[in-house]
Structure 1
Amino acid sequence: MISIGTDLVHISAFAEQLAQPGSSFMEVFSAGERRKANERQGSRYAEHLAGRWAAKESFIKAWSQAIYGQPPVIAEEAVVWRDIEVRADAWGRVAIELAPELAAVVRESIGEFSSSLSISHDGDYAVATCVLTIQ
């Protein structure tokens, strides 16, 4: 079985959220994701993180779609977003890496799985698609 999730992020609106005084939105990103974003200059910083946010959302949507007709496994407000980490290889190809506890919860709900991820940016938008292949 294959399950797909896609998310679209408006980069300038996302940048406004990041810039709000007292915002804790950066906490949804892992230390590694924040470190990589800090390597970007100016608007590329928000663009980079918007793509990562879209990727996290696309994973949740793919997982949710995989259990269509069943109640959610984790309440939306209980998701620890930094447990869904987007990592890039030396050539910039991205993948989802889950914290061990979250990976166990996902496997318990859908069985063994693998994921594929794509992130793209165009103008003021970032889009990500996650495909879960469930064995």
Structure 2
Amino acid sequence: MRRIAFPCKLSIGTDVVYLPRIRRLISKREGCNLIPFAKRILHPLEIRDLSHRHPQWQAQHKKSCVDSDSLIKWLGGRFAAKEAARKAMGATTLGWKDVRVEVKGSGEPQIICAIRDMDNNNIECEAKLSLSHDGDYVVATVLAAATPEISTSRALQDSKSS
């Protein structure tokens, strides 16, 4: 029997984050590493979302670092989602801020990746995101459909990095 590719080219990425690890990363240095950590991995729109959901986050570094489990879960979810998106896109050239989580009006999260097409134009591609929290773990799964622009852009990025 002849085998053919699935009609839609799909990519999947999954990541599991151990929340105590996020807490340790934030509490690493003298005092608290929350603000540098957030600014390193979050897109400016995610920083805005963080400030809206957890208005106390910037004041946390003055306390015993992070005492909010919901803040750790939120950051762990973003971390896992970004790692899963990078795996699904097959793009190790994607930086932390090139990938963001956006929540639709319905409450459904999605991934937005900022890449460049073959003409060097900025484009954003969307992917499906599923996040699950259970105890000390967060699991993120990203499902991305390849489009001609993304496939061409990936090939271009790969050829430049070789």
Taking structure 2 as the reference length, the TM-score comes to 0.62
Contact 1:30 1:85 in 2 (8 A): yes
How many corresponding residue pairs? 118
Q: Distance in 2 between matches of 1:104 and 1:44?
A: 37
The alpha-carbon distance between structure 1 residues 96 and 114, as it changes in their structure 2 partners (threshold 3 A), is closer
Unpaired stretches in structure 1, ≥5 consecutive residues: 65-71, 106-112
Contact 1:14 1:46 in 2 (8 A): yes
| Corresponding residue of 1:91 | 106
Taking structure 1 as the reference length, the TM-score comes to 0.73
Unpaired stretches in structure 2, ≥5 consecutive residues: 1-8, 57-67, 119-124, 148-162
Q: Distance in 2 between matches of 1:123 and 1:46?
A: 12
The alpha-carbon distance between structure 1 residues 73 and 17, as it changes in their structure 2 partners (threshold 3 A), is closer
2:25 to 12, 17, 26: 17
Contact 1:114 1:134 in 2 (8 A): no
| Corresponding residue of 2:83 | 57
2:142 to 127, 130, 133: 130
Shift of 1:32: 2.4
Deviations 1:46-80 (A, max 9, x none): 1011111111000111112xxxxxxx662xxxx42
Q: Distance in 2 between matches of 1:43 and 1:73?
A: 30
The alpha-carbon distance between structure 1 residues 73 and 53, as it changes in their structure 2 partners (threshold 3 A), is closer
Pair 1:31 & 2:31 matched: no
AA partner of residue 86 (structure 1): V
For residues 94-105 of structure 1, the aligned pairs below 5 Å read: 94-99=109-114, 102-104=115-117
AA partner of residue 98 (structure 1): C
Shift of 1:98: 2.2
Shift of 1:88: 0.7
For residues 72-83 of structure 1, the aligned pairs below 5 Å read: 74=93, 79-83=94-98
The alpha-carbon distance between structure 1 residues 104 and 25, as it changes in their structure 2 partners (threshold 3 A), is farther
Off by >3 Å, runs of 4+ in structure 1: none
State the superposition RMSD in angstroms.
Answer: 2.8
Identity among equivalent positions (%) equals 31
The alpha-carbon distance between structure 1 residues 73 and 15, as it changes in their structure 2 partners (threshold 3 A), is closer
